[in-house]
Structure 1
Amino acid sequence: MVTGDFGDTATYDTVAAAISGRSNPVFYLEIPPFLFGRVVDGLAGAGLTTNARVVVEKPFGHDLSSAKALNN
């Protein structure tokens, strides 16, 4: 288990160390929708989204346009 602050880049570095050597990770986000973008950006910034899948628990965004933005 990895704990940390969603806004702290060190958290994503800790995640990277925890899954080092693994291919095709799946990140399951059971967090409030307003954090989806921040967390996915953090994962991407740490280089964790290559060959990865991100699964988000509903609700996905707060309207159609925000859902489309999160999907890109």
Structure 2
Amino acid sequence: MISKEDIRSLLEEALPLVDLDSDFLFSELDSLGVTTILMLLSAHYDITLESEDATPKNLKSLESLAALVEAKLREK
């Protein structure tokens, strides 16, 4: 099971200015931040994340990112 702490440790170094504990993480991100998250998660978990996955619902919080990764891992 992917935890929000797994996601946090992966993203903290790459996105030091982003408040990963924000109530609505998506509002903290610009296009480069979104792209960075998709690329890091794709590479680390060996999954394919597309631009269609970059929705406010999927990028709402660390928990929603963990759920997205879990769903993609199940699809493999």
Smaller-chain TM-score bracket: 0.3 to 0.5
User: TM-score, normalised on structure 2?
Assistant: 0.32
Larger Rg: 1
User: TM-score, normalised on structure 1?
Assistant: 0.33
More strand by share: 1
Q: Which has the higher contact order (CA 8 A, sep 6+)?
A: 2
More helix by share: 2
